[in-house]
Amino acid sequence: MHAHGIPHRIIAKVIECDPKTLRKHYRQELNDASWEVEAAMGAAIVSAGQNGAWGAAKYWLVTHAKDPQWRTPEPHSISGNPDMPPLRIQLADMTDDDLRKELTELRDRTRAADGARTLVSQVPSRSNGVDH
């Protein structure tokens, strides 16, 4: 339960003891639980990547590979006045097929970037005492 983020007070309530008693008698289990889940998830990511899941392979490479080509750049944002009307872009020179292709590519890149950001945000900054 602790590895899944359930607070000690709730775990103690479920097993019908005081949170201090839980920590006193189950300290090692509480400490090891998240590491065990992290190890299992790491193994699952590697296995999925080796079996052809490109998202899992990319995630592992982005978070663990030594080669800087796999690192994701710092996120950039474009901001402006939220009260201003949306920016209009002239697309008159593009054919319908060009527009569809461009829109599809933008959607694919957005989905990939969102997926990578989600996965990276879920990785703890420290693992087994080692900074990532």
SS3 state of residue 130 = strand
User: 70-109: per-residue pLDDT in tens?
Assistant: 776 666 555 556 666 665 666 666 778 887 887 888 788 7
pTM: 0.41
pLDDT of residue 82: 65
* Helix axes 27-50 and 54-64, enclosed angle (nearest 10): 120
Euclidean distance between CA atoms 38 and 123, whole angstroms: 9
Question: pLDDT tens-digit profile of 32-46?
Answer: 888 888 888 889 999
- How many domains does one find in the chain? 1
Q: Please state, in angstroms and rounded to a whole number, the distance separating the CA atoms of residues 78 and 22.
A: 48
Nearest to 59 by CA among 113, 5, 128, 130: 113
Sequence-separated (6 or more) residues with CB below 8 Å from residue 128:
35
Measured distance CA(60)–CA(45) in Å, rounded: 7
Domain range for 97 is 2-131
